[in-house]
Structures are given as structure tokens and as C-alpha cells.
Amino acid sequence: MTVESSRTVWSRMRRDWLLLLLGAPGIAAVLVFSYLPLAGNVIAFKDYQPYLGVIGSPWVGLQNFQILVDGDPAFRTALINTLIISLIQVVFVFPAPILLALLLNSLLSERVKRVVQSVLYLPHFMSWVIVVALFEQMLGNSGLLNTWLQGNGFGTIHLIGDPGLFKVLITSQVIWKDTGWGTILFLAALSRIDLTLYEAAAVDGASRLRQLWHVTLPGIRSVIFLLLVLKLGDVLTVGFEQIILQQQAVGTQASDVLDTYVYTNGVINGEWGVAAAVGLVKGVVGVALVLAANKVAHLFGERGVYSS
Amino acid sequence: MSSSVISRAAGRRDHRPAVPPPARRARRGPALPVRLLKGLVLLVCCAVVVVPFLAVVSTSLADEHQIDAAGGYVLWPTHPTLAAYRAILSGGVVTHALLVSVGITVVGTALSLTCTAMLAYGLSRPGSFAHRPLLLMVLFTLLFTPGIIPNYLVVKELHLLNSYWSLILPVLVNGFNVIVMRAFFMDLPADVLDSARVDGAGEVSVLLRMVLPLSKAILAVIGLFYAVGYWNSFFTAMLYLNDTDKWPLQLVLRTYVVDSTPLSTSALNVAGDVAPPQQSLQMAILVLSLVPILLVYPFLQRHFAKGILVGAVKG
């Protein structure tokens, strides 16, 4: 039996060796740069010294995780900021593309719709450096808005560089960059809604608002759930590049999030073990949240990210 | 779509049939004030996107007098000049960074697209040897992202720090792109490919002569996505490259525009000439960094219209 099956394995390998060979470079890249870093997480349990290397550094057990329990003030600030920003973004950023998609979908002119889409998708393809630069040029203390205000005898408004407004600023940047692009999945779902449902609703005397509530929203419900589940997995990941670029002006108290904390503590300050420990816990919690959110989606009768 | 066109055309006419067909009633346009309001909202949305780009491009082209008169920014250059572009492209820091960015983008995209297409094809035949575990391996990468620290350690241990390869190899293959391309390959007419195989064509020639020519659209989209990613990458360069000489354009943009470090004449290589105003120089760097995206954008846009990506995401 084993001889038989090993012969089939061997013959299947001989049959498919070329497919395997074609896939090999890609598989190697995935192994080295997606899976090998998982193994690199062992330094969360070590006192990593760059000159000793990952393997040579001494084990320290759970010492690096102490910070999570002790409530180190810098870590606590980062965690709280992360949660606040995530909450703000679920409330303000998440619904924005839904509203825009509903608006675009209600347009009768296909041409207008296409032009607006082309314009609003564009910011998604700009790097964070460009977006931050554009915001500074427009809203900064010597930016377009303030030069205009001064030129017309008004005072200046400090929108950028004010720690109190930092979370508002980064939220508006996310909205500016990704709202248009975010509509793409909702518009696809909206275009699949059976038009006869609207006809039936209209015959039954449903107003446009009721049609929206009873036909349109149920039609995009599963997409909303899917994206919400994915978003939940990202609750601990907020705008790393975006924040790193703007952190200097407002200080860490207002702007530090878990990812920037990991970066500054690990790469800059050399607290490798602690940074890796925080990163590891963050990653595990993220995966757990996706799985949990997916479970909840199933309870609501939705498909979620994957069906079990 | 067609029913909305019909209803719109019908809505304009005065004579209506006594009993309107239900489709028309359901999709009839809303009242005029509502339509005006919608138009206004969309106009504001578009202006919020367009005005910054317009101001940046215009200021980069404006001359010193106009910038001084306007207090920093112009929305339309009255005497357009390319002086700022000439200054930054005359062989200083910015020119170098531009070449670095172009090099990384070209080499990276070529390698990424090749590896992605080969892997997607290798995984496109269900039932082939190790098909399932390999596919799952790629799928799982979508679920988690290794943290900054472990990524850094891998790059460091492979001695890729401070090498341009550190910007390419870690992002060489994107699992999502592999899945999208594989779905596209699997939708190709199997009987055509099989008949080629029966006629004695090997896998490699089936891939090169049949699969790839039939998949130009998806190759273009995925290629452009990779290219945009390489062009825009900023943090990996900041993390892995220590030499400022090796910096790509995005980091130079950060230094001179986001952090507004003044560009000295030595950084510009315009000794002797009068340097254009800082404002235009900064804006010109910003424009340089976004022009390639604006150039490829119409091609990307064409493919969104075809719904290729959404279709692939669905499946």
C-alpha cells in the first residue's frame, strides 16, 4: 500500500515537476519573507543582541512581556491612542464610502458617474508622503488656506501641528485618500441588486427612502459585514506610515500608536525584545479578532471572510 | 443600467402612456432640488481632490513674481516656467533619487510580475502535485502580517540591509495578486490549452504562447499595482537603507517637502545660476513624485471599468 502510494506521489511529482519549478521562486519568496519572520518572533522571548544574532541571544522567558502587564506609561499611551483612532475610524471612515457609493449609484447619468469615480479613485494611488505633503501645503500654517485667510484679513487657523487636532487630521487624511476607492466593492454589490425588487417595492407604494432601507441596504449587507470583519482584524493597526511622517510636529503623547511604539522602541532605541513582544501580541490579537468577528458574522447569517 | 437610460429618456417627454411600466416608476429620477444637492455634494468632493493637485502643479510652474505676489501659492501660472524642473533635474540629489526610484520600480515590477505569473500558473491546475498545501500557504499570508521587527531581522540576517534588494525581495510576491491572477488563469478556456498540450506543446510554451497572450489585461493591472507599490514605498526605504545617497524619491520628498528642509544650491547642482524659489522647487519635487502615477492611472482606470478586479475579488 505504502509502496503503491509513494509510487503515485513519485509519478505525480514527475508529471507536475514543471509546474512546481515555475512556482518555486514565488514560493521561496513567500517562505522567506512571510513565514520566516514568524520564526523571527522568537526574539520576543530573548534578550536580543544584534552582535549575538537571533540564535545566539540568551533566552529570558516572558520578561519582555512584562511591559504589557505593568502598564508602562509609553505603552499605555500607544495602546489608548490606537484604540481611540480605531474607534474614530470605524465611526467616520467606514461609513464614508458606503454613503458615497449610494450617492453615486443614485445618479442617473453614467457619464457623470464615471468621471466622478475617476477623480475620486485617484488619491488612493498616492503614497502617504504625497498625501501628507499635500495636506501640509493646503492646510499648514503657511499653506494655501492660511495664505488666503491672511490675504483677506482673517487670522490663521492652526490645523496642522496641533496635538489636540491630530486625530481629526489623520482621520480626514484617510477619508480624503481612500473614500473614493472604498466605493468600488459597494458599487459592484449595488449593481448586482435585482432591479425588479425596486419595481416590486414601488408597486407596493414604497417611497425612495423605504426602497433604500428595504432593498438597497440588504443588497449590500454582506459586503458591509465582510469589510467590517476585516476592519476588526485591523483594530490594532492604524496608519503607521501616515503617523510616522507627522509625529515630530505633535509629539508622542498625541500620536504614538502601537506600530510606531514598536518601531521607535525596537529599531531606534534597540529594545528589540520588548518591541517584538508587543508586535507579537498585537499580531496574535489581530488574527484572533478576525476569527472572532467572522464567527459573529456567521451568527448573523452572513458569509464573512470565509465560510466554515 | 439600460432601464435607467430608458426612464431618463422617457422622463423628459411630455406624453406618457396611461399606465407607466413599473420599471420606470421605480427608477425615475428624484425631484430637482435633490438632484441639485447631489450634484453639489459631488462637485465639492471632486474639488477637494482636484484643487490640491492643481495648486501644486501650478505653483511648480509659476515664476518668482507671481509666487511672491500670491503669498506662496498660485492656482494658475500666468507666466509658466520650467525653471524649477530644470534646477532639480540638473543632476543633484533629486535627480539621483528619481533615477533610484525608477530603477527600483522597473526592476521590482518586472521580477514581481514574473514570479507572480509563474506561481499563479503553477497553482492553476487543481489536482497537480502539492497544489492544495501550496495554495493554502499563499492564502494564509493574507491573514497575518509579520511585524516590523521580525521583518527587519530577516532582512538583516540575509545581509540585505542598505541594499536595494531590501526594497524588492520582501515584497516580491503578494499573495492577493497571486490569487487574483490564478483565478484569471483558471477561467481561460481549458479545452484550447488542453488541445495545445495534446499537440505536444510543453507547459512552458503553453504558458508563454497561449496563457500569457490571453491574459494581457490581468498582467497589466497586476503589473501596475506592483509598480505603484514600488514607486510609493517609503517606509521600507527608511527602515532598510542607511545611506542617504541611496534614498528613493519618496524619502527625498519627505525631507524637502514634508519636513521642509531647504534645498541648498549644492543639493541642486545649479551653482552660479539663480535658484528658483523654494516654493516652486518643493512643488516640482512633489509633482515629479506623482506624475508617474498620473501617467499610468488612465490604464488602471480602464481596467476598473471592465470590472476585472472586482470579478476576481468575488471569485
3-class DSSP assignment, residue B242: coil
Predicted pLDDT at B28? 54
**Contact residues, chain A, for B236 at CB < 8 Å:** none
- When pLDDT is cut at 50, 70 and 90, the band that residue B113 belongs to is very high
CB–CB contact A279 B234 (8 Å): no
Q: A4-34: per-residue pLDDT in tens?
A: 556 677 888 888 888 899 999 999 999 999 9
- In percent, the amount of chain B with pLDDT more than 70 equals 84
B204 with B145: CB under 8 angstroms?
no
CB–CB contact B4 A108 (8 Å): yes
Predicted pLDDT at B25? 44
Distance CA B215, CA A90 (A): 38
Sequence-ordered alpha helix ranges (H) in B248-307: 249-253, 265-268, 278-306
Residue type for position A215: V
Q: How far is B146 from chain A (nearest CA, A)?
A: 6
Indicate if ipTM > 0.85.
yes
CB–CB contact A202 B25 (8 Å): yes
Least CA distance to A12: which residue of chain B?
B129
CB–CB contact A137 B283 (8 Å): yes
Q: Whole-number mean pLDDT of chain B?
A: 82
Q: How far is B56 from chain A (nearest CA, A)?
A: 8
Q: Given B49, B56, B71, which is nearest A120 (Cβ)?
A: B49
**Contact residues, chain A, for B141 at CB < 8 Å:** 30, 34-35
Q: B146-172: per-residue pLDDT in tens?
A: 889 999 999 999 999 999 999 999 999
CB–CB contact B71 A240 (8 Å): no
Least CA distance to A195: which residue of chain B?
B23
Predicted pLDDT at B305? 56
Q: B214-272: per-residue pLDDT in tens?
A: 888 889 889 999 999 999 999 999 999 988 889 999 999 998 888 888 877 667 766 55
CB–CB contact A27 B119 (8 Å): yes
Q: How many CB pairs under 8 A join A and B?
A: 283
Q: Given A25, A31, A245, which is nearest B258 (Cβ)?
A: A245
Least CA distance to A123: which residue of chain B?
B49
Asked whether the predicted pLDDT for residue B213 surpasses 50, the reply is yes
Which of A123-137, B8-22, B82-96, B102-116 has the least mean pLDDT? B8-22
CB–CB contact A26 B118 (8 Å): yes
Q: Given A109, A120, A262, which is nearest B46 (Cβ)?
A: A120
The secondary structure of residue B244, as a DSSP letter, is G
Q: Stretch B205-210: mean pLDDT, rounded?
A: 88
Task: Compute, in degrees rounded to 10, the torsion defined by CA atoms A13, A15, A18, A20.
Answer: -30
Asked whether the predicted pLDDT for residue B22 surpasses 60, the reply is no
Between B9 and B217, residue with greater pLDDT? B217
